[in-house]
Chain A
């Protein structure tokens, strides 16, 4: 079985799973884990979008 993901899908999948692990391992309570996981996910995806737009601007 072969799966082909585009760059954004791969980044989103990576962000989702890495954020879950970061949330669980870096915080104490369930509420803090969820909040930190969501924060990491937003930062990962936000970073991808910012880097993408920055490269688009540089390329022009």
Chain B
């Protein structure tokens, strides 16, 4: 009985915080998939980078609109939270003044949603990189 309790306790206990537990999510946010790559999950990282970057760039190419931090409207704020998840791609888009597409046709609206979803997917990838860093996932 005592052994079972000890075993359970060992499984539940978190590993001590390491530099990687901070670095992997930060790098993963800035460059999608990089949080996995610095932990030597090369193929996973590459697939995440291609998927998230392609979705974001397709959104831009479809004349999608990028949300900025100044939105007073709740939907604008939610759009900003989604967009900012794309990290470096979002910063690059803002600095180059891309993503100003006027929603004049349906695909531009799809593009806007593509960019938001790319950011949200990157949040999931960041959480996954963190779980790998703390040993919760292989």
CB of B58 within 8 A of CB of A24, answer: no
CB of A18 within 8 A of CB of B110, answer: no
Of listed A5, A20, A21, A24, residue having the most chain B CB within 10 A: A21
A34 to B117, CA, bound (A): 21
A3 adjacent to chain B (CB < 8 Å): yes
Among candidates B48, B110, B117, B138, residue contacting A24 with C-beta atoms closer than 8 Å: B48
Residues in A lying within 8 Å of B, measured CB to CB: 1-5, 7, 10, 13-14, 16-18, 20-22, 24-25, 28-29
Residues in B lying within 8 Å of A, measured CB to CB: 44, 47-48, 51-52, 54-55, 58, 61-63, 105-107, 110, 114, 117-118, 121, 124-125, 127-128, 137-138
